[in-house]
Structure 1
Amino acid sequence: MPSFYALVIGASSTIAKAAIHQFEDDSNCLGVFAVSRYFPVPTQNTKTTYLACNNTESSISEVCQILAPVSGKITKVLICNGLLHDDNITPEKRLEDISASQLEAVFHANSIVPMLWLSHLLPLLQGKNNTQVALFSARVGSISDNKMGGWYSYRASKAALNMLIQTSAVEYARRAKNVKLIAFHPGTTDTPLSKPFQQSVPKDKLFSAAFVATQLLSIMENIPMDNEAAYLDWNNQTIEW
């Protein structure tokens, strides 16, 4: 595999940190750019450069300007941003739980921010080197797979993200033929995001962050470069849009 730079956005998440460790251990990886609103505890590995970004359009643009010197050399991109719950937000179980403020917050984190990154990254990713961009989606974002209902804002925001990925792939195919976009479902991973919902998950279906990172990086390395968006789970199985 040729030498490359990696870019991990949303670097304070548990899976992102596991991926950063694996990039650092990869002799072909020349460096990792880790972007986050809040800096995680830095590793001792000098490969990783931490960049602060509050995910506004201007802040994203500033980070991309910093990355300009390695334009065309970043060939592994993870966009890990996402929101399922916080101190004020829990997934809606019924229509009466819907609120405009929650819909806006969840859509902003899960749909708008990743799309802003896809927009601003285009000039940095154009080139001759095969490049994979994985955006963290979710199986519940599949419209055709929705049999359970509930989780209105999270489902809809991930469905919107999937459409944005699909639409971006059409334009990337014209303007950056070397790029493959992937909507990635990590499965239920032992992270703070899934913690309140783990009690009903069988032990063999609750994955470690290191396992999910390994699966994702393997998928990125081996996926066909066909200029079409892919919607895949942790086991490299296709999910219906």
Structure 2
Amino acid sequence: MSAKGASSAVVIGASGGIGAAFEAALIEEGAFDVVHGFARSREGAQHLDLTDEASIVAAAGHVAKGPPPSLVIVATGLLHEGDLGPEKALRDLDGEWLARNYAVNAIGPVLVAKHFLPLLPKVGRPVFAALSARVGSISDNGLGGWHGYRASKAALNMLVRNLAIEERRRNSRSIVVALHPGTVDTPLSQPFQGNVPPGRLFDPERAALQLLDVIEELKVPDSGKLFDYEGKEIQP
């Protein structure tokens, strides 16, 4: 990736498998003056909890002190937690678990956008990207199940479209997208990797580099869309 002038990159969820790979790849590329990595498990200025808007505000304030961010990646997601995981049927629905899915997969990323999009410069080609999932596509849903994860990712995709429309009025050069990384070999996917076809389970480093290549090729008309790791658009 390339960046003109002094700029920074931001990775939200930098302690996770793919988030850490994003952070490492961006540092290694050296295209940005500063690479900020934030995570719930980190302390001090690097702490950010998607369910705590005050921590998002603090993180944005920290970034605002330096070069403007021309790339912001929200590399977070929730699929299972403790004994809770994707619902197989309607009888498995639990209101608190549904709310937790929405809090992490949809509400948290849009709150990050609320405080970080205003920091994007009005020059160059700034990008805000949030990790979503193909299973959040309503038109692609032929299996059902996984109600909370599917619905919260579908909500994220809609919010990305909304953000793109509003951001275009403020900054005509910015790009806001959702990205599908495929199935990545991380704790998030670990319980479900047995169903992944051979050759379709990606290591985090490969997944991060693939998505950085996709980001590199994005154009302003791509804003508001969902793309997979090959750069192919996924219909909502």
TM-score, normalization by structure 1: 0.92
2:229 pairs with 1:226: no
What CA RMSD, in Å, does the superposition of the two structures yield over aligned residues? 1.6
Q: Which residue of 2 aligns with 1:65?
A: 61
Quote the offset at 1:57 in angstroms. 1.5
| Aligned with 1:179 (options 174, 177, 180) | 174
Q: Which residue of 1 aligns with 2:117?
A: 122
Q: Which residue of 1 aligns with 2:35?
A: 32
Q: Which residue of 2 aligns with 1:43?
A: none
Contact 1:8–1:16 (CA under 8 A) maintained in structure 2:
yes
Show CA shifts across 1:30-88 (max 9, x none): 11100111039xxxxxxxx96112231111111111111236x3111110121000103
| Aligned with 1:212 (options 192, 199, 207) | 207
Contact 2:70–2:121 (CA under 8 A) maintained in structure 1:
no
| Aligned with 1:7 (options 1, 10, 18) | 10
| Aligned with 1:159 (options 151, 154, 166) | 154
Q: Which residue of 1 aligns with 2:74?
A: 79
Contact 1:34–1:50 (CA under 8 A) maintained in structure 2:
no
Q: Which residue of 2 aligns with 1:90?
A: 85
Q: How many residues align?
A: 232
- Given residue 55 of structure 2, which amino acid in structure 1 is its aligned partner? S
**Could you list the runs of 5+ residues in structure 1 that have no partner in the other structure?**
41-48
Q: Which residue of 2 aligns with 1:17?
A: 20
Quote the offset at 1:203 in angstroms. 2.5
Quote the offset at 1:5 in angstroms. 1.2
| Aligned with 2:234 (options 199, 215, 239) | 239
- Given residue 41 of structure 2, which amino acid in structure 1 is its aligned partner? Y
The structure 1 segments of at least 4 consecutive aligned residues displaced by more than 6 Å after TM superposition are: none
Show CA shifts across 1:166-187 (max 9, x none): 0111000001222101110000
- Given residue 9 of structure 1, which amino acid in structure 2 is its aligned partner? I
Q: Secondary structure at the match of 2:80?
A: coil
The whole-number CA distance in structure 2 between the counterparts of 1:28 and 1:237 is 25
Q: Secondary structure at the match of 1:122?
A: helix
- Given residue 77 of structure 1, which amino acid in structure 2 is its aligned partner? V
TM-score, normalization by structure 2: 0.94
Q: Secondary structure at the match of 1:88?
A: coil
Q: Secondary structure at the match of 1:144?
A: coil
- Given residue 134 of structure 1, which amino acid in structure 2 is its aligned partner? A
The whole-number CA distance in structure 1 between the counterparts of 2:222 and 2:192 is 35
The whole-number CA distance in structure 1 between the counterparts of 2:109 and 2:183 is 21
The whole-number CA distance in structure 2 between the counterparts of 1:227 and 1:156 is 23
Contact 1:138–1:184 (CA under 8 A) maintained in structure 2:
yes
